[in-house]
């Protein structure tokens, strides 16, 4: 029987695979990853921003919160919650964003594989949402899976806007 931590690792990997599958189709279609669509007067985040943000989130919700190793991806802070899109535009190209996205993921998977199963019972280095008091690492890992899945869904929506098939 798998431990709770092994289950989290499995779900982290499977959820990322969904995002990677749509990114691969976008790469094959040679979409413009910087394009921002407008819907009802609202600007949607670009594929470029989604990839950078997903890397930032995985670094925070898997690695930083649990004392994991630093993946040494210098640009992550520019894709955090509440950061204006303009802060991340032009600091790196999409190839570097994808490389960092992949690097953070590999470091996170290795960290989860090497951590003791009891890590999920420990408190994280910071609260999940400031002011809530939610600090258990298990909540961080669970939220990461939800967050990643939500952004994978946003990537599929963007793929449709580019005229690509869903699944």
Place of tokens 């670009």: 46
Place of tokens 């499995």: 10
Per-residue pLDDT of the chain (167 residues; tens, 9 = 90+): 899 999 999 999 999 999 999 999 999 999 999 999 999 999 999 999 999 999 999 999 999 999 999 999 999 999 998 887 777 888 999 999 999 999 999 999 999 999 999 999 999 998 888 888 888 999 999 999 999 999 999 999 999 999 998 66
Euclidean distance between CA atoms 141 and 88, whole angstroms: 25
Per the CB < 8 A criterion, the answer to whether 159 and 25 are in contact is: yes
Identify the pLDDT of residue 128.
Answer: 83
Identify the pLDDT of residue 88.
Answer: 82
Identify the pLDDT of residue 89.
Answer: 82
DSSP letter (8 states) at residue 136: B
Per the CB < 8 A criterion, the answer to whether 113 and 7 are in contact is: no
Identify the pLDDT of residue 16.
Answer: 97
Identify the pLDDT of residue 101.
Answer: 98
Domains contained in the chain, CATH given: 4-29+39-161 (1.20.120)
Identify the pLDDT of residue 140.
Answer: 95
């Amino acid at each position: 029987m798998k431990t709770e931590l092994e289950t989290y690792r499995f779900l982290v990997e499977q959820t990322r695979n969904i995002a990677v599958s749509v990114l691969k189709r976008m790469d094959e279609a040679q979409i413009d990853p910087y394009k921002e669509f407008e819907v009802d007067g609202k600007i949607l985040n670009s594929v470029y921003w989604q990839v950078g943000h997903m890397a930032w989130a995985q670094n925070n919700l898997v690695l930083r919160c649990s004392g994991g190793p630093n993946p040494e991806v210098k640009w992550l802070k520019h894709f955090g919650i509440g950061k204006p899109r303009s802060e991340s535009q032009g600091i790196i190209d999409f190839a570097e964003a994808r490389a960092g996205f992949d690097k953070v993921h590999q470091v996170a998977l290795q960290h989860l594989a090497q951590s003791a199963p009891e890590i999920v019972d420990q408190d994280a280095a910071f609260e999940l949402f400031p002011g809530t008091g939610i600090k258990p690492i298990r909540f961080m890992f669970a939220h990461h899976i939800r967050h990643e899945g939500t952004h994978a869904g946003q990537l599929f929506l963007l793929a449709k806007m580019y005229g690509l098939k869903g699944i």
